[in-house]
Structure 1
Amino acid sequence: MKTPPIVTPQEWEAARERLLVKEKEITRARDALAAERRRMPWLAVEKRYEFIGPEGRASLLDLFEGRRQLIVYRAFFEPGVHGWPDHACDGCSLVADQVAHVAHLNARDTTLAFASRAPQPDIARVKARMGWSMPWYTMTDEFDVDFGVDEWHGTNAFIRDGDSVFRTYFINNRGDEAMGGTWSYLDITALGRQEEWEDSPEGYPQTPPYEWWNWHDAYGDAELSQERLAEVAAAGTVTDRPSGGRGTAGCC
């Protein structure tokens, strides 16, 4: 193994600063790309799809769980796939292992769900074994064919207006590698992170960064949420978010 040169602390810091310039360029480019996603046209989903979940039959609209946005990852866990019946495929399992606590997505009016062709008892068993908590449904029709995930994994984003559902974005292949974190999921949605620093169309929902962030077990607890807001207010506000500015609390 041919290693890089060994340098002094000053030389190491100078090398890091040179790379940091490029990293910030990538961050700003990623923000600009997400802004373009929020301006993507919407595709009406007019066909009725049916899934089976822990509570029985469910429509695509049901998968939203009452929220405005839905992200569906097509995971390969079913007869004929490597790992069956003890595991989902290696790659889809790696994706599932990386999923952050879904409460943070839910706080942004967004639901994440997985979908496979495995029966619910098998899904429940593997979720328990692997410690996965995201909603996971059984496909029963052509959903995977119609949305480009019948032969390969992929992530579809949807939004609803009342009972009308629209497809807003789709990624697959290496695009799925970045998924798992709350921010990566929100960045592919039509509404984005919904924070004030984002470049979004007029009228899109936005709130100050940090103020909506919470412990995953406190979003539904009014007392804890108010305590969190008070702490944020006392610490000060975040400025210049896209450029990597820091709040007075010194985090992020």
Structure 2
Amino acid sequence: MNSTTTETSTTTHHSVVPRDQWLAERKTLLAQEKELTRLRDQVARERRALPWVHIEKNYVFDTPQGKRSLAELFEGRRQLMVQHFMFGPGWEQGCPSCSYMADHTAGMQVHLEHRDVTFVAVSRATLPEIERFRRRMGWQFAWVSSNGSDFNYDFHVSFRPQDRVNGTVNYNYGMTEFPAEEAPGISLFYKDGEGRVFHTYSTYGRGVEVMMGTYNMLDLTPKGRDEHEGFYKMDWVRHHDRYESQAVFKPAPEVDSCCSAKA
């Protein structure tokens, strides 16, 4: 048995082939990748063509600058992107998976702003709770509290006991089981020249992976996301200040889930 065969059978469990055979198979995959890109572009066009809903309710948020309406969160831009961040009143810290999402905003924010998009995170935790956790994580993006507002409930990312029907809640556009009182999501809004605000799009469940750039990179690697099967696949994720100091991969023990991994 030669060394290549040994490597294949004991480590990668993949076939090892000559370069010309690899290139032929790579080109076959490339055709599928191009088709996926075209499909993604088509879905994006259809997303932009969705009708809008005029926001008539006066949502007010607690911010470090005082009370602000939804319209005032735009900060002079026409488009607003909201991360529905799972962080409820009385929680010690925000959801690790939502924190994983938020970790990706630092590099994106300046580019979003130069394309007429303001980014803000919204949670039902109180503003002092948010500010304490935000300082711990070192984040600079705007993060406001919807505590005392219907905002989270109206966008189906927070659930009261009475919202549960036979153990299910209205999440991701249907009644589904969800283990927590808070859920992740992303919503988009537009403000016209008259100051009217419109809801244009929301995505939930695995749709929030759009913020998880690390996943896009992991999907290119030989091991992929390297996650176990099950309802909650992200139990490996830690708050970025809670990983072991030495970056050596170790399978994560199972932890209580806080975000849905359903599509």
Scaled to the shorter chain, the TM-score interval is 0.5 to 0.7
Q: What displacement does 1:149 show? A: 1.4
- Is 2:205 aligned against 1:173? yes
Instruction: Using structure 1 for the length normalisation, give the TM-score.
Output: 0.66
> Identity of counterpart residues, as a percentage?
44
- Structure 1 residues 65-101: Cα deviation after superposition (integer angstroms, max 9, x where no partner): 1100001111112335xxx32x211211111112233
Are 1:144 and 2:152 matched, yes or no?
yes
Q: In 2, distance between residues paired with 1:113 and 1:132?
A: 12
Counterpart check, 1:78 vs 2:72:
no
Equivalent position to 2:59, from 38, 46, 49: 49
Q: Is the partner of 2:82 in helix, strand or coil?
A: strand
Alpha-carbon separation, structure 2, partners of 1:178 and 1:127: 22
For the pair 1:123 / 2:127, whether they are aligned, the reply is no
RMSD: 1.8
SS at match of 2:44: helix
Runs of 4+ in 1 over 3 A off after TM superposition: none
* DSSP-derived class of the 1:149 partner: coil
Aligned to 1:11: 21
Match of 2:184 in 1: 153
Report the CA distance between 1:180 and its aligned residue: 4.8
Q: Match of 2:96?
A: 90
Equivalent-residue separation in structure 2 for 1:4 and 1:79 (angstroms): 49
**Contact 2:84-2:184 within 8 A present in 1 as well:** yes
- Aligned partner letter, 2:186: T
Q: Spell out the pairing of 1:180-219 with structure 2 (5 A cutoff).
A: 180=212
Instruction: Work out the CA distance in 2 between the residues paired with 1:13 and 1:127.
Output: 47
Q: Distance in 2 between matches of 1:2 and 1:106?
A: 43
**Cα displacement (A) at 1:133:** 1.8
Amino acid at match of 2:48: R
SS at match of 2:89: coil
2:134 and 2:58 mapped to 1: Cα distance?
27
CA contact (8 A) 2:124 2:152 kept: no
Structure 1 residues 147, 92: closer, same or farther in 2, change over 3 A?
same
Unmatched tracts of structure 2, length 5 or more: 1-10, 159-181, 217-263
CA drift of 1:15 comes to: 1.8
Equivalent in 92, 102, 108 of residue 109 of structure 2? 102
How many pairs were matched up? 178
Tell me, in whole angstroms, the C-alpha distance in 2 between the residues paired with 1:90 and 1:170.
Answer: 21
The structure having more radius of gyration, on CA atoms, is: 2
